[in-house]
Structure 1
Amino acid sequence: MRSVTDVAESKQHRIARRQVDKFDARRTELAVATLHTLAELGYARTSLREIAQNSEFSHGVLHYYFADKRDLITEAVRQYEVVCVTRYDEVVASAASAVQLRDEFVAMFFGTLAEDAALHRLWYDLRNQSLFDSSFRADVLEIDSHREAMVWRVVSRYAELRGGTVAASSGLVYVTLDGVFQRALLHHLAGDAETVAALRAELPEVVELLVRAA
């Protein structure tokens, strides 16, 4: 039989857990709500005060939930990556053939590039900043690993549907497709539709090169 002390400690633990969960949920809510403001301002031009001035939240509220702009930007990018992963996983889950998976992946790849260009720009900004600032390098590497795993699920499933195997390591597959995406993003932001269209036309061949026939 549990003692009064045990019951009291268990209750305190549950209350503390709920408080932590509510705090984390509020952090997520604020990060998502300020994501577009962050994307427009970019890393160098962003401070918690500037974010507050461009959003519905006070500086005090943001400062309570986030230690600094690095903390907020990292959490915002992390939440956006969760959405991206879900999108591609749905494509993988619904594909009945290799051709369908490849075509839907290409459509999603360039669709999100155009629709969420500012958000992708924020990610690359954050990743570049981590080369100079070691304080959030671990967070960037963690997010990058999730992106790598997402790409691997697409390409490995495509290889399976083709009856083959992936011809390169997970890391090489990721940097190959990420390189295409970053180049396409740069030209999209520059208004160079011709180069973006050319990259889109070539992407199916790139995916095919990553797969070895059985």
Structure 2
Amino acid sequence: MNDMTQTGRLADRKANKARKRENRKREIAQSAISALKLYGYARTTLRDIASQSEMSLGSLHYYFEDKDELLIYCVRQYKSEFARTISASVRGISNPDRIKTAFCTALAETISTEAELHRLWYDIRNQALFDQAFVPVVDEIEEQLIEMMNPIASERKAKELLYLRFDGAFRYLLQLSVSGRPRELEEMTEVLKAAAG
């Protein structure tokens, strides 16, 4: 066996180990999201998450340094999937009015089906006002959400303004939903379309 073969095998093992670790982190994040949806950021402890994940607290610490790192990982993972879902909702549509309707309908549907997850995003975003550890991930996710506006706006300033208008309407509709006063899907879609202008 030559040195190149040995080096290749070591690199493969290292890559495989990294892949397994990342897969395990994703599994833990899914369990953590369940606990975070129930209790919210402030009331969830690593013990709650470890219990939900059916693993020891020590094992949880092996993958995540603390609750903040785990929450950041969870929200980053969820919001990336959210952006892909919304972008996919307008794929193949060319009419601007239909794009706006499909986009707003997809946003409204996520309020109905994923309110607790959206609540985590607003939780971490608010936390960034008090804790600098959250600022980079909030900036990263907000950039992703601004770019999600591409089907409706092309210029940077227009995308930023559109994101701000959607964010206000979305948060308001989410608040109604989580406080037991949800609006119908059609009404939420109309509110979001009005925010889009």
TM-score range, shorter chain: 0.7 to 0.9
Give yes or no for the alignment of 1:183 onto 2:181: no
| Structure 1: distance between partners of 2:17 and 2:32 | 23
Q: TM-score, normalised by structure 2?
A: 0.87
| Structure 2: distance between partners of 1:167 and 1:82 | 20
* Number of residue-to-residue matches in the alignment: 197
- Unaligned regions of 5+ residues in structure 2, if any? none
Aligned in 2, Cα 1:194/1:66: closer, same or farther, shift over 3 Å? closer
Give yes or no for the alignment of 1:125 onto 2:123: yes
What's the counterpart of residue 174 of structure 1? 163
What's the counterpart of residue 41 of structure 2? 43
Aligned in 2, Cα 1:93/1:200: closer, same or farther, shift over 3 Å? closer
- The 5-angstrom pairing of residues 82-93 of structure 1 reads 82-93=80-91
1:199 Cα deviation after fit: 5.5
1:36 Cα deviation after fit: 2.1
**AA paired with 2:86?**
Y
Identity over aligned pairs, percent? 30
What's the counterpart of residue 16 of structure 2? 18
1:92 Cα deviation after fit: 1.9
**1:94-119 Cα deviation digits (max 9, x unpaired):** 32422322222222111111211111
Q: Give the secondary structure class of the aligned counterpart of 1:191.
A: coil
**1:66-103 Cα deviation digits (max 9, x unpaired):** 11111111111111112212211211213242232222
Q: Give the secondary structure class of the aligned counterpart of 2:150.
A: helix
**AA paired with 2:78?**
Y
What's the counterpart of residue 30 of structure 2? 32
8 Å CA contact 1:48, 1:68 repeated in 2? yes
**1:126-150 Cα deviation digits (max 9, x unpaired):** 1111111112321221122112211
What's the counterpart of residue 79 of structure 1? 77
8 Å CA contact 2:125, 2:138 repeated in 1? yes
**AA paired with 2:37?**
A
- The 5-angstrom pairing of residues 88-167 of structure 1 reads 88-150=86-148, 152-156=149-153
**AA paired with 1:26?**
R
| Structure 2: distance between partners of 1:9 and 1:55 | 36
- Unaligned regions of 5+ residues in structure 1, if any? 157-164, 210-214
What's the counterpart of residue 53 of structure 1? 51
| Structure 2: distance between partners of 1:48 and 1:118 | 19
What's the counterpart of residue 6 of structure 1? 4
| Structure 1: distance between partners of 2:105 and 2:185 | 13
1:200 Cα deviation after fit: 4.0
Q: Give the secondary structure class of the aligned counterpart of 2:42.
A: coil
8 Å CA contact 1:148, 1:170 repeated in 2? yes
1:195 Cα deviation after fit: 10
Q: If you compute each CA radius of gyration, which structure gives the higher value, 1 or 2?
A: 1
